[in-house]
A and B are shown apart, each in its own frame.
Chain A
Amino acid sequence: MSKQEIQNNTSEGLVEVIKTPISRRNFLAFTGISIAAAGVVSLGLQGCKTDDIVAPVTGSVDVGKNDTGVLNYAYALEQLEAAFYIQAVATPYSGMTGAELAILTDIRDHEICHRDFFKAAIGSAAIGSLVVNFSSINFTSRASVLGTAKAFEDLGVSAYNGAGYYIANPVYLELAGKIVSVEARHAAAIRDLLNPRSADFAGNDVVDASSGLDVQRKPSQVLPIAAAYLSTTVTANYLP
């Protein structure tokens, strides 16, 4: 997939997007916002405990429709990130400095927190635990671990940026916003570890120089990238 296809980041491109009429489905979703915003929003919290035993999903799973679908989509990505950092901290690459360990440990805890939060927020509609496949990652190699971390964080940022408009409930949108900026903070920190005090923390490979916009991707663009690290097949057949 080319950068051009996934970004649509120029000023001209933005204007094109703005001029695009809202689809009927989205329009209907937006008209419901004021009703949802006026009432008390239930997140469907079920009092989940993090140690609830859930059988991993070994085959395939679809994230579902509407806001639940977007939340499950985010939950899937947070599961992937959490599993990665748990492994990265448990088996440090050779030469990992104390500062690097501290950063990776912080990020691990943030991703675990995000994962646990989504699981609780989605409640009984949550997808199960995904089975990850990290066979392509060399956890003894700094370049492999930090390179993967960079890819995951940038992917997460682009995923939240691209899915935000599909969220109908403003409370969920705000929650997604609270999380995506932390993912972006992670991305910059990892990039700074790889190439300290350079422009890479917000490099031109992710932030379009002319518009100043970060990458955004649709679920249909994100999931094929994530699939390389998942044994479970995750689909988003009802999302863009």
Chain B
Amino acid sequence: MKLENLYNDIQSKISDDKHSRRVAFKQAGDFGVKAALVSLPFVLSSLLTKTAGAKNTSATVVEVLNFALTLEFLESAFYQRGISMGVIAAGDAAVFNQIVQHEASHVITLRNTIISLAGTPVSQPTFDFTAGGAFPDVFTNYATFLTVAQAFEDTGVRAYKGQAGNLMSNPGVLTAALQIHSVEARHASEVRRIRGQKGWISNADGGGAPASIYVREDNYVQGGVDVRTISSVSPQAITEAFDETLTMDEVLAIAGPFIV
């Protein structure tokens, strides 16, 4: 199959049914087009690369960084839009001005890092922050904005954490990723507090954010041991004391509806 035809085929499947996206990508990956991914738009290349690579290897460092860059683009554009739309309460402006600066810095840092590793940074996609209508008032209703903000931050924390193992071959990149990861966690805590939630995740409670973001957060088993058997703190406290990981596929499924 010619690559151009394959690309058109994928594009038509996306326009037909956004939710069949990942299925289409998996099918495309079966044709072994990994080498041609450079010419595809970022969503395709990141997903295809992951799918093609998943058969026998884990994601490369550059693939992980492009995955992270995609999430940072999402967050950065989201907060920029929220600020420009005036949805943020005046009393919280300092918080979101700080967050938006961090997300923009993360984009720059990740891009520079990818380039330094001789990789090609993905381009910024077009976003739909209503997620296809699921959050229609995201930039006019502050409560909705905060819910989506919490969703993005908690997802970001879990996404970086889930990729740490794939960065172990490069200590510098791993350390930088951890340094971004903890910033996302600070953001998540603050947004949760503004929402009147705890700064940490209790059980699998997302406080109205999509449940898919909080799968396994009610976990009691760490490193193969049920922590309830070795610590006297409450089961809820155990779930709060450990943030869980998300796989790349899980994160892409969460982020997918926000990407046009």
Whether chain B is bound by chain A comes out as: yes
Decide yes or no whether B225 CB sits under 8 A from chain A.
yes
- Specify which chain A residues have a CB less than 8 angstroms from the CB of B222 in the assembled complex: 117, 175, 178
Cross-chain contact A173 with B186 (CB below 8 angstroms) = no
Decide yes or no whether A227 CB sits under 8 A from chain B.
no
Interface size on B, residues (CB 8 A): 69
Q: When A198-B95, A201-B95, A202-B99 are in contact, do A212 and B180 touch as well, CB less than 8 Å?
A: yes
User: Which residue of the partner chain A has the closest CB to B93?
Assistant: A197
Cross-chain contact A213 with B157 (CB below 8 angstroms) = no
Min Cβ gap B169→A in Å is 6
Question: Can you list, as one digit per residue, whether each of B97-119 has a CB less than 8 Å from chain A (1) or not (0)?
Answer: 11101111110110011001100
Decide yes or no whether A160 CB sits under 8 A from chain B.
yes
Q: When A20-B172, A174-B164 are in contact, do A106 and B190 touch as well, CB less than 8 Å?
A: no
Decide yes or no whether B209 CB sits under 8 A from chain A.
no
Cross-chain contact A197 with B91 (CB below 8 angstroms) = yes
Cross-chain contact A109 with B233 (CB below 8 angstroms) = yes
Cross-chain contact B109 with A211 (CB below 8 angstroms) = yes
Q: When A109-B241, A120-B225 are in contact, do A14 and B112 touch as well, CB less than 8 Å?
A: yes
| Alpha-carbon separation in the docked complex, A189 to B224 (Å) | 30
Min Cβ gap B235→A in Å is 10
- Specify which chain A residues have a CB less than 8 angstroms from the CB of B241 in the assembled complex: 109-110, 113-114, 117, 179, 182
Q: When A157-B182, A213-B180 are in contact, do A113 and B233 touch as well, CB less than 8 Å?
A: yes
Q: When A11-B112, A30-B168, A173-B165 are in contact, do A199 and B178 touch as well, CB less than 8 Å?
A: no
Size band of the interface chain A makes with B = 35 or more
User: Which residue of the partner chain A has the closest CB to B188?
Assistant: A185
CB proximity to B under 8 Å, residues A70-102 = none
Main secondary structure of the interface of A (DSSP, over half): helix
| Alpha-carbon separation in the docked complex, A201 to B102 (Å) | 12
Min Cβ gap A3→B in Å is 14
| Additional A-B contact list (12), CB under 8 Å, known A170-B168, A175-B222, A212-B103 | A14-B113, A20-B172, A30-B168, A41-B223, A114-B241, A116-B233, A162-B175, A175-B242, A184-B183, A197-B94, A215-B179, A216-B175
Interface residues of A (CB under 8 A from B): 9, 11, 14-15, 17-20, 22, 26, 30, 33, 37, 41-43, 45, 48-50, 103, 106, 109-110, 112-114, 116-117, 119-121, 157, 160-162, 164-165, 170-175, 177-189, 192, 197-199, 201-203, 207-216
Leading 5 A-B pairs by shortest Cβ distance = A212-B105, A17-B172, A184-B185, A165-B171, A116-B231
Would you list 21 pairs from A and B whose C-beta atoms are within 8 A, ordered by A residue? A11-B108, A14-B113, A14-B176, A18-B172, A22-B171, A45-B223, A110-B200, A112-B231, A113-B231, A164-B164, A164-B174, A178-B161, A179-B241, A181-B188, A185-B243, A186-B189, A186-B199, A187-B189, A188-B187, A198-B95, A202-B187
